Amino acid sequence: MAGDVAERVIKVVAETLKLDAAQINGDSKFVEDLGAESMQSVELIAAFEEEFDIEMDEEEALDVKTVGKAVDFIAAYVN
């Protein structure tokens, strides 16, 4: 996982889902492990877009199920 992107993704996830960043790692699943509900998934996408100043395909983004995959997904937009 790209270091800077990973740190920022974890920070956004922690803030959006009101969790301790220490509980979140690349293998964390948004729904099963972190308790994200569908509304929060949409909020996460918006938060990632704001944090990284990107526009993501929402349908593709909603298919991303783990933090590590989110990092890869966002890194592809950023780079």
The CA–CA distances, whole Å, from 9 to 26, 30, 64 equal: 10, 12, 13
Helix axes 67-78, 3-17, angle to 10 degrees: 120
Q: Residues 25-53: pLDDT tens digits? A: 999 999 999 999 989 999 999 999 999 99
Task: Give the DSSP H or E segment for 38.
Answer: helix 38-52
From the number of C-beta atoms within 10 Å of its C-beta (0-12, 13-18, 19+), residue 38 rates as exposed
Domains and their CATH numbers in the chain: 3-78 (1.10.1200.10)
- pLDDT above 70: percentage of residues in the chain: 97
**What is the reported pTM?**
0.91
